[in-house]
Structure 1
């Protein structure tokens, strides 16, 4: 099996948009409720955005493969990620019907970066640093993946493209304009980077981050993963941040307010989790993380 060799990359949780004008805002009587998506996103052709994202994702994978940093299909951690994605994806189309057409894909890149992202069209990537340094449980991996998928389903990146004035873009969407907007070096696949992917950060608004948290919790709970793991995840992030700067936190601000928002919505998503597990909510045990210092979460 090909070993994962760290690749010097700065790629940040793009969580970019999945384009679809008919994405749902209130999908059922249970689960979380969110505001309507911005009509501005309709100015950007979803097919062109997805095609550009697919191309850039392929270029990133090719570059990682050249540096022996792309995990092969038999890598246990990649298999783990695929298994979790397989459980989450069936619950995506309730938030965006176009998701059923996406060619979903999960990649694992060997890098110390604490990072993950989902691009338009369901292109997901995790960096080994987020798994290894945070010692993520399956529930916590699901929280990260659900959050990034939610950014795509709620078309946050598509809206950002529209607001940037690139809506007319045919060629721009497939070229440097979109690359820069999504934080991707247009020379990613070329020799100009010296074989090192140079990607910058895409920062969503506070409202986008909150929405991705909530929609992600809904998806995770329906898939049978414990939404309380979100609290443990952000507590882990805070613990690790004391020792180093985290790229993921630069685009996903943490803090007590974020944890409080998750806690506030647990009464909405915990019944979904209990239903997925096939047990009464009252019989659910506390969520226990795997790191000393994080107390069991009962709510």
Structure 2
């Protein structure tokens, strides 16, 4: 038991020392630094480019690149500068951003994000995940959750109940920690991304239109409590509530002459 107490003490010190604050003021646990995450992001992106089909359509690449550049143009600090943007020939309505300033866009998303403002909603959301260190946060959570499970396994020893209890712990962790945590990140990326697109000169009202399109194109979502993403209805409602702040940012951007001209 002394060994377990020592491990728990060390784990507690690490967790407390890794506390940070997200862009919306939410407490975060970050066990991985920006340099480590950027290296992992760049490596993962290179692997994707090797395994997936990269689009050679000049018009599509120019269009997506234009929107991405507008979204990232005003970023500061370590996020400043050019981001690598790659369009993948994939039918899924998806896009992603990775630490290391990488953005990937599936061609399928262009069937749902039908305007540059709607595409800016998607890219703003994905870039917001990076700005808020969500990848590092999820990795930190999984790391600590894994350590916790190992410690409990040691406590249980070789008891006949070990597999049953560990199975229940997996289920409990999945529905009690990992999934709600994922929804918090998604909602935060919606908020940060909405402000980011508005500051970049894109109409924030398009965010609602995008998720209405997503809802229409969706073939059904699992119940919200079993999903890492908020329901479409929840997202739309939250975005509408945030619009009072986003619209002035959009108007300010226009007054400064920030008006992206990205045509598909």
Normalising by structure 1, report the TM-score: 0.61
Say whether residues 1:86 and 2:69 are aligned partners. yes
2:113–2:210 contact (8 Å) kept in structure 1: no
TM-superposed deviation, 1:227: 0.5
Say whether residues 1:54 and 2:42 are aligned partners. yes
- The C-alpha deviation readout for 1:119-169, integer Å capped at 9, x for no partner, is 11221111111112x1520000000000000011000110111122279xx
2:201–2:253 contact (8 Å) kept in structure 1: yes
1:106–1:125 contact (8 Å) kept in structure 2: yes
Q: Secondary structure of the equivalent of 2:204?
A: coil
Distance 2:142 2:236 in 1: 31
Distance 1:253 1:210 in 2: 7
- The C-alpha deviation readout for 1:214-253, integer Å capped at 9, x for no partner, is 1101110011000111100111011111xx3689x96533
Higher relative contact order (CA 8 A, sep 6+): 1
Q: Does the C-alpha gap of structure 1 residues 166 and 62 become closer, same or farther in structure 2, counting only changes over 3 Å?
A: farther
Alignment match, 2:139: 161
Alignment of structure 1 residues 246-257 onto 2, 5 Å: 251-257=228-234
Alignment match, 2:216: 239
Bigger CA radius of gyration: 2
1:150–1:212 contact (8 Å) kept in structure 2: yes
Alignment match, 1:35: 25
TM-superposed deviation, 1:91: 2.8
Normalising by structure 2, report the TM-score: 0.69
Q: Does the C-alpha gap of structure 1 residues 83 and 59 become closer, same or farther in structure 2, counting only changes over 3 Å?
A: same
Q: Which runs of 5+ in 2 are unaligned?
A: 1-18, 146-177, 257-264
Alignment of structure 1 residues 203-282 onto 2, 5 Å: 205-241=182-218, 244=219, 251-278=228-255
Alignment match, 1:71: 55
- The C-alpha deviation readout for 1:52-101, integer Å capped at 9, x for no partner, is 2111101111222xxxx2113x62111111111111112333xxx32126
2:117–2:206 contact (8 Å) kept in structure 1: yes
Q: Secondary structure of the equivalent of 1:51?
A: helix
Alignment match, 2:123: 145
Bigger share in helix: 2
- The C-alpha deviation readout for 1:13-38, integer Å capped at 9, x for no partner, is xxxxxxxx99873xxxxxxxx11451
2:69–2:83 contact (8 Å) kept in structure 1: no
Alignment of structure 1 residues 276-295 onto 2, 5 Å: 276-278=253-255
TM-superposed deviation, 1:260: 1.1
Distance 1:245 1:109 in 2: 25
Q: Which runs of 5+ in 1 are unaligned?
A: 1-20, 26-33, 168-201, 280-299
